[in-house]
Amino acid sequence: MGRQPCCDKLGVKKGPWTAEEDKKLINFIITNGQCCWRAVPKLAGLRRCGKSCRLRWTNYLRPDLKRGLLNDAEEQLVIDLHARLGNRWSKIAARLPGRTDNEIKNHWNTHIKKKLLKMGIDPVTHQTLQKDDPNSQAPKDKDHRHQLLQADELPAGSSDHHVVVVPAPAVSTCSSSSSSSSSSSSQTDDHQNMNSSDESCCLGINSESSYENDPLISFLFRDTNDLLNFNDDTWEFPFSDQDLDSFCNKSWEENCPWLLDCQDFGVHDFGFDTQCFNDM
DNA sequence: AATGGTGTCAACCGCCGCGAC
DNA sequence: TGTCGCGGCGGTTGACACCAT
């Protein structure tokens, strides 16, 4: 998928990356780490601009990337964060481990926008759409999974009637896996019917206690008031110093077990073992 | 089977902020 | 203070996949 390869006047290649180029880039970064991106193509033997190398690495080759569609819990988090931050995809991506801003942006534009419209929510303002709005198909079910709450602190340009979609708190059971079907109608229904146990299931969480020990996950799911009080300008990394020390002393497999799912591409595919990334 | 419409997403483009000088 | 280089960000593009007719 992508564009046809081409070169500009300076002989810099554009278009889709080949496996050979990927291998060169990965090999270089594993050996040298991420340094001056401008120097990377020259040193790695690539006819690409540094920007292209950086993008390829951060959006596709990084070993800590999750693959596949966003699950319902991640999607809900994106909606919540978007209500707070607007189109600041990098800020949103920073709160979703293993996801890139580009991925989230694409997912928003192709899936979530439509889903919100079907739910009767304006994807730009997060306001409920007017009832006489032909685009509005808001559900009337009072058991609707999401609570539409009045926000007291909202992005610039928001109106007095701005609402934020907030996920229900996670509970302790996990009954069935939820689908991330791309079918918009069934997807909406699933979304509305999915209970909070499904949500925790989506992140591989079996119970509240099971993620209490994971500082990042527990941060993501702790009191939703945190989301309402979220202030991007003063936000700090949610780990305590102790957590951070613990994190740094573990391998990436221990800290990020979902990365093991990525091993069939991006690491072992290129002849590297996971030790390479521990060394990094 | 052929055609046209729509969806998906990797990749590019242009702008901006920041630090160095 | 102004300029430059760099990295990062968000918006957009366009090739391919998929589906409906």
Cβ within 7 A of any strand C atom: A 1-4, 36-38, 50-51, 54, 58, 87-91, 101-102, 105-106, 109
Q: What CATH number is given for A6-61 in this structure?
A: 1.10.10.60
Protein contacts on strand B: list nucleotides below 7 Å from a Cβ: 7-14
Asked if A15 CB < 7 A from strand B, the reply is yes
- The residue whose CA lies nearest the C1' of nucleotide C6 is A38
Q: What is the pLDDT of residue A13?
A: 86
Protein contacts on strand C: list nucleotides below 7 Å from a Cβ: 5-12, 14-17
Could you say which residues 133-172 of protein chain A have a Cβ atom less than 7 A away from any atom in strand B?
none
In chain A, ranges of CATH 1.10.10.60 domains: 6-61
pTM of the model: 0.57
pLDDT tens per residue, chain A (280 residues)? 333 444 444 678 888 899 889 989 998 888 888 878 888 888 888 989 888 998 999 888 888 888 777 888 888 888 888 888 888 888 888 888 888 889 898 888 888 887 887 777 877 787 776 654 444 443 333 333 333 333 333 333 333 333 444 433 333 333 333 333 333 333 333 333 333 333 333 333 333 333 344 443 344 444 333 443 444 333 333 344 444 444 444 444 444 444 444 343 444 444 444 454 444 4
Rounded to 5, what percent of chain A is helix, strand, coil? 45, 5, 50
Asked if A257 CB < 7 A from strand B, the reply is no
